Structure 1
Amino acid sequence: MIKRVFILLAILGLVLMFLPFLKDFDFHEELGVLSSKYVEGSVNDLNTQNVVTAVIVTYRGLDTLGEVTVLFLATAGVGFLLRKKKTSEKSRKSSELLQTGSQFLFVLIVLTGVYIFTHGHLTPGGGFQGGVLITTAFLLLILADTNLKFNHRILLFVESFSGAFYVIIGLLGVLLIGMNSFLDPTILPIGNFGKLLSAGAIPLIYSLIGLKVGSELTTIIDKMGGE
């Protein structure tokens, strides 16, 4: 009885908390000043078809760099905590059907992930989504064959290269354009609106983010043994 009373009080408290927001909520027929600046700047200044991508990569690019850094620290933490693998448990033997099927699907999933982050400035999606999808392809291989071993040197190289080049692109904006132009995509030609080679360096930045996210999450999955 007391438990139900607490639940009802909690629900009532949430209703009272959000009631003012719902009461004063109003659908705006026109964009605000900041929203208009982002939309117009994405189309006119960057030739970006996906406004969300322009915001993530350009207008809050430093914040995105911080998110990638947090993911790197999480990967390093998992690698440190799970650096000793269990050897006492005997791994099950994988079937040839599972291994063959997973290898076939692996290629399709990776290609889809690459498509997502290379077309992030044109269609929904981007580096994080494409990188996560690539990770699921590696997870499929691990689940199909528990004895599978990855080349960690390749994963480390991809992660290091993409992260370093990401920062270099940001610094090029400062050197070529100005102090307020860190991660400015206009260091490359903005191209024609709606084309693959457009939006300046945004496709390149998103590709680097996709590779970095994919390699780091794959390392985490591998350290955890696919669990």
Structure 2
Amino acid sequence: MGNLTGLLFAGGLGFMLLTLAGGLDFGTPPMLVGSEIQAHAPQQTGAVNIVTSVVLGYRAIDTLGELSILFAAAVSAGLILGRRHTTAGTQTKGGFILYTGGSLLFPLMMTIGFYIIFHGHLTPGGGFQGGVILAAAFFLPLLARPGARLHHKTLSLIEGFAGASFILVGLLAMMEGKAFLQPLLVQDTLGQLISAGTLPLLYLAVGLKVGAELASLLSRLIQTEAPQ
């Protein structure tokens, strides 16, 4: 009975997909929305990177939803992992290469992370990618120093401030008579660091929020339970 049900489902799904595909002209996919975005996004948002225009300009409310999902996932993982700490007697340093490399790479990774965040409207990258690099910058020294921990209260403050800032920018747009999270302060000069108005500020909030949540989650993953 189960095999028959699965076969019927697969057959119905295949029929639906074939019906939808049959109604489209082969080789000429409809790009009505995409064409409009490509034609008007740089002037409307001030961002050379069209992906940034979509993520933070045309569907910023969806990006806010993605941040909420990431927050819920990080909180759920933290609750499941609990508070597990390494005892002071078991704290040892990693190898010389890992320990020295972690110390040297930390400022470099921080610089690269913020560079990618602030230039997300000009080049491929942005808050999500830069935030992951920031999280890795804090995670690498933990691998070189077993037993070391991040200050979770500080990470929580950064994460909360970043999320509140993202929403505040959206509310400021409404106070100006625009839609929620609609870009503000857009400049006419494309390709400049200060040209996309509030989009870099939104990406900064995204980067800090993603970095803080992932750094907190990664730090919990490497913590070991203290022996009884």
Shorter-chain TM range is 0.7 to 0.9
Post-superposition Cα deviations, 1:173-204, rounded to whole Å, max 9, x if no partner, equal: 111123xx100112x24351110001111111
Aligned pair in 2 of structure 1 residues 119, 153: CA closer, same or farther (>3 Å)?
A: same
Aligned pair in 2 of structure 1 residues 144, 87: CA closer, same or farther (>3 Å)?
A: closer
Looking at structure 1, the residues matched to 26 and 193 of structure 2 have their Cα atoms a distance apart, in angstroms, of: 37
- Which residue identity does 2:65 align to in structure 1? G
Displacement of 1:146 in angstroms is 1.3
Looking at structure 1, the residues matched to 107 and 121 of structure 2 have their Cα atoms a distance apart, in angstroms, of: 23
Aligned pair in 2 of structure 1 residues 93, 102: CA closer, same or farther (>3 Å)?
A: closer
| 3-state SS of 1:224 partner | helix
Report what 2:114 is aligned to: 114
Report what 2:73 is aligned to: 74
Structure 2: give runs of 5+ residues left out of the alignment. Answer: 1-6
Displacement of 1:157 in angstroms is 1.7
Report what 2:169 is aligned to: 169
Post-superposition Cα deviations, 1:130-153, rounded to whole Å, max 9, x if no partner, equal: 111211222211222212221223
Looking at structure 2, the residues matched to 21 and 221 of structure 1 have their Cα atoms a distance apart, in angstroms, of: 43
Report what 1:215 is aligned to: 212
Looking at structure 1, the residues matched to 122 and 163 of structure 2 have their Cα atoms a distance apart, in angstroms, of: 23
Identity of aligned residues (%): 37
Find out whether 1:44 has 2:43 as its counterpart. yes
Report what 1:3 is aligned to: none
| 3-state SS of 2:194 partner | coil
TM-score by length of 1: 0.82
Looking at structure 2, the residues matched to 25 and 115 of structure 1 have their Cα atoms a distance apart, in angstroms, of: 43
Aligned pair in 2 of structure 1 residues 167, 97: CA closer, same or farther (>3 Å)?
A: same
Detail structure 1 runs of 4+ shifted over 3 Å in the superposition.
16-31, 86-93
Please tell me whether the aligned partners of residues 93 and 144 of structure 2 are also in contact (alpha carbons under 8 angstroms): no
- Which residue identity does 2:175 align to in structure 1? L
Please tell me whether the aligned partners of residues 102 and 141 of structure 1 are also in contact (alpha carbons under 8 angstroms): yes
- Which residue identity does 1:182 align to in structure 2? F
Alignment of 1:16-55 (within 5 A): 26-28=26-28, 31-32=31-32, 34-55=33-54
Find out whether 1:182 has 2:180 as its counterpart. yes
- Which residue identity does 2:129 align to in structure 1? Q
Report what 1:206 is aligned to: 203
Looking at structure 2, the residues matched to 113 and 226 of structure 1 have their Cα atoms a distance apart, in angstroms, of: 25
Post-superposition Cα deviations, 1:150-172, rounded to whole Å, max 9, x if no partner, equal: 12232122111111111000111
Report what 2:147 is aligned to: 147
TM-score by length of 2: 0.82
Please tell me whether the aligned partners of residues 189 and 199 of structure 1 are also in contact (alpha carbons under 8 angstroms): yes
Please tell me whether the aligned partners of residues 46 and 199 of structure 1 are also in contact (alpha carbons under 8 angstroms): yes
Displacement of 1:97 in angstroms is 3.5
Displacement of 1:60 in angstroms is 0.7
Please tell me whether the aligned partners of residues 135 and 217 of structure 1 are also in contact (alpha carbons under 8 angstroms): yes
Please tell me whether the aligned partners of residues 173 and 182 of structure 1 are also in contact (alpha carbons under 8 angstroms): yes
Cα RMSD after superposing both structures: 3.0
Displacement of 1:27 in angstroms is 3.5
| 3-state SS of 1:39 partner | helix
Looking at structure 1, the residues matched to 46 and 71 of structure 2 have their Cα atoms a distance apart, in angstroms, of: 31
Which region of structure 1 is more displaced relative to structure 2, 142-151 or 93-102?
A: 93-102
Looking at structure 2, the residues matched to 49 and 29 of structure 1 have their Cα atoms a distance apart, in angstroms, of: 25
Looking at structure 2, the residues matched to 20 and 103 of structure 1 have their Cα atoms a distance apart, in angstroms, of: 58
Aligned pairs, how many?
A: 216
